[in-house]
Amino acid sequence: MATTAFPTRDDFAAMLNESLGGSADGGFEGRVVKGTITAIENDKAVIDVGLKSEGRVALREFAMPGQPHGLSVGDEVEVYVDRVENSDGEAMLSRDRARREAAWDKLESEFGEGKRVEGVIFGRVKGGFTVDLDGAVAFLPGSQVDIRPVRDVQPLMDMPQPFQILKMDRRRGNIVVSRRAVLEETRAEQRSGLILNLTENQIIDGVVKNITDYGAFVDLGGIDGLLHVTDMSYKRVNHPSEVINIGDTVKVQIIRINQDTQRISLGMKQLESDPWEGVIAKYPVGARLHGVVTNITEYGAFVELEAGIEGLVHVSEMSWTKKNVHPGKIVSTSQEVDVLVLEVDSDKRRISLGLKQAQSNPWDAFAEKHPVGSTVEGEVKNATEFGLFIGLDGDVDGMVHMSDIAWGISGEDALALHRKGEMVNAIVLDIDIEKERISLGMKQLEKGAPAAGGVAASGGSSLKKNDVVTVTILEVRDGGLEVQAGDDGATGFIKRSDLGRDRDEQRPDRFQVGQKLDAMVTGFDRSKKPNFSVKARQMHEEKEAVEQYGSSDAGASLGDILGAALKAKK
């Protein structure tokens, strides 16, 4: 039996419980007490807190994530007593719970004073991360990790660093912290001091901290500057990652410093020689160059002539024959092309280039191969209200005006004779290389028609407008008569309405092939073929008769005058 002179462990625990105001069984439970480490076995520490039996606590509870525990036998530590004795007869102790209780007391004090606290990011949860604040677990929202979005948080985990408590509720056990608030405060202090030591045009080394689509953020030693993608190189840069990578050390020049916003603009290309210097002498107008297509837009294509020098080929200068076509259907990116310099503006850093000018002009080639008067064959590409477009050699088009499709019928009726896709023959009437126009004629290939340029098949024509000649009918049509001048040999046409003054006289069926009649030359069509008119001749003779005979006999009738005129003519 124990005596007061030699108390046992149980007597000592009872006296301790009595002094703490508790019972022998439960006075320690729910309290934070001090104990001594009596042994370290494997991954647990054996701790004596003065109870019947010792307790075991995992070593990991004595250190922050990723840190060593640093314990040894004989060390005094604080633990939380969950139960005095479990089913195995051991005390159930917790270092985490003890640290948590102590941490909450400390954190409440620091939160009230607005102080920063130290913690370790040790886990990932929905919407953010968990942080160990020396025993108390806090929530770190994803938006509060850094000033800018962080792609990889792994390097920040298991590393002691400062945090700012945003809010805490001990009753609910909630703590929200921010790492971003600490960084912003620290950066503001650093920026204010560092920005005073920077000047515009200064050259400085920096480390690429982050890359975006529009540029990169470079750390200049505690203060960030923006290196815009357009200031990375004189050549075209589609994305900053083509030039730099995160972690690269780069030499940059300070372009601008905004003291109000404390923003710093940086440049790399400013440290290189400007390729646009002397560009006028290097690329004179008319020079033929070789380049690579770097970009294609709706209005044209950009061609790189050398690193940092690009010119624009406008869509109108891309092809001689392909009009209103997207540039992407003519060239492709990375394609090597020959171009001609059309214009250079060194102030605006613009060079206008021509792609089609570096190629042979198909209109020149056509004119050389098919001069005026030659016969060509082509496909009807399109029919419009004023004529037919014919596809010709060299991928060029020629136009047959509706008046040049056929003799003796209206232009509308002539258009209806042909369909898209039909192969036809035509004669070249005119070529305008500058305006890229080729005029064709189909009716000029008919029997007796003069060659292009106004020369008849039988020889040169001497007919003039208003000449009255005797013609021979070659063919009778519904629209009129195909005739040939007797002495001259030129063929022409008399429209139905020009066969006489009276309606009865305007019937082609009253004439026969081989019949002769007098007609007046009223003009020439586009192929210099004469147009004849019986009606115009009749009216001209009537006018002459009135002038000659009407004045001598004022009382004479029109019939008398015409009769006298005819008699005089006989």
Question: 3-state secondary structure string, 182-232?
Answer: HHHHHHHHHHHHHHHHCCCCCEEEEEEEEECCCEEEEECCCCEEEEEHHHC
pTM flag (> 0.85): no
Higher pLDDT, residue 318 or 27: 318
The string of pLDDT tens digits covering residues 417-446 is 888 888 999 999 888 888 888 899 888 887
pLDDT of residue 79: 78
Q: How confident is the model at residue 314 (pLDDT cuts 50, 70, 90)?
A: very high
Whether 305 contacts 295, CB under 8 Å: no
Give me the sign of the Cα torsion angle 414, 417, 419, 423: negative
Higher pLDDT, residue 398 or 27: 398
Burial of 89 (0-12, 13-18, 19+ CB in 10 A): exposed
Q: List the domains of the chain with CATH numbers.
A: 9-99 (2.40.50.140), 114-184 (2.40.50.140), 198-271 (2.40.50.140), 280-355 (2.40.50.140), 362-445 (2.40.50.140), 459-570 (2.40.50.140)
Using CA atoms, how far residue 325 sits from 10, 301, 363, 383, 437, in Å, is 101, 12, 19, 20, 19
pLDDT of residue 43: 79
The Cα 68–Cα 310 span in angstroms is 61
Whether 40 contacts 70, CB under 8 Å: no
Q: How confident is the model at residue 66 (pLDDT cuts 50, 70, 90)?
A: low
User: What percent of the chain lies above the pLDDT cut of 90?
Assistant: 18
DSSP output for 452-484: TTTBBTTB-----TT-EEEEEEEEEETTEEEEE
The Cα 194–Cα 81 span in angstroms is 52
Whether 121 contacts 130, CB under 8 Å: yes
280-284: list long-range contacts, CB under 8 Å, 24+ apart: 280/344, 280/346, 283/309, 283/311, 283/341, 283/344, 283/351, 284/341, 284/344
User: What percent of the chain lies above the pLDDT cut of 70?
Assistant: 85
Query: In whole numbers, what is the pLDDT of the chain averaged over residues?
Result: 81
The string of pLDDT tens digits covering residues 111-152 is 888 888 999 999 999 999 999 887 788 999 999 999 888 888
Whether 333 contacts 294, CB under 8 Å: yes
Mean pLDDT of 49-69: 74
The string of pLDDT tens digits covering residues 326-366 is 999 889 998 999 999 999 988 888 899 999 888 888 888 88
pLDDT of residue 144: 92
Indicate whether 302 pLDDT > 70: yes
pLDDT of residue 93: 78
The string of pLDDT tens digits covering residues 154-169 is 888 888 999 999 998 8
Q: Which residues are bridge partners to 304 per DSSP? A: 292, 310
CA angle (151 as vertex; 238, 64 as ends), nearest 5: 160
Question: Which residue spans within 27-83 are E strands per DSSP?
Answer: 32-41, 44-48, 55-58, 76-83
Q: Which amino acid is at 140?
A: L
Mean pLDDT of 455-465: 56
Indicate whether 25 pLDDT > 70: no
The string of pLDDT tens digits covering residues 222-241 is 788 899 998 998 888 888 99
Mean pLDDT of 515-537: 85
197: its two tokens: 């030591």
45: its two tokens: 């520490």
